[in-house]
Amino acid sequence: MSVKTVALIAHDACKDKMVEWVGKHRQVLGGMSIVATGTTGGRIADAHPDLSVSPLKSGPLGGDQQIGAMIADGRLEGLVFFVDPLSPMPHDVDVKALTRLAIVYDLPMACSPSTADAVLHYLAAD
């Protein structure tokens, strides 16, 4: 059984929620390879130094595209993207592109803690 890779992204207003979610699922995520956009990855690594997190660029500076390329190349088994639907998103096109790629490549994607729980449960059971 190969190690699964999951990508984690969170908008600014959701970064605390992502760090908390990761802490709740630290044991399961510890057996996976984690990639995350810049600030999100840094926050996760600081809060959970026992996890191995590979940080990419910040989302608006290319991190979203890096994750998109990983989706297209088949290098991810799941994507957790905590989206803040109440804040303006200057890089909304990047969000839409990631969502589109996840659908095209049939990648399990979660945009809230409850759906992230379901995706992680699915990935851990597979």
Distances (CA, A) of 107 to 34, 63, 71, 75, 100: 15, 18, 8, 10, 10
Judged by DSSP in three states, 83 sits in coil
Give the C-alpha separation, 14 to 89, whole Å. 13
Active site residue 94: no
Pick the catalytic residue: 12, 46, 64, 84? 64
Tokens of 119: 């995706």
Do the Cβ atoms of 7 and 80 come closer than 8 Å? Answer: yes
Which active-site residues does the annotation give? 64
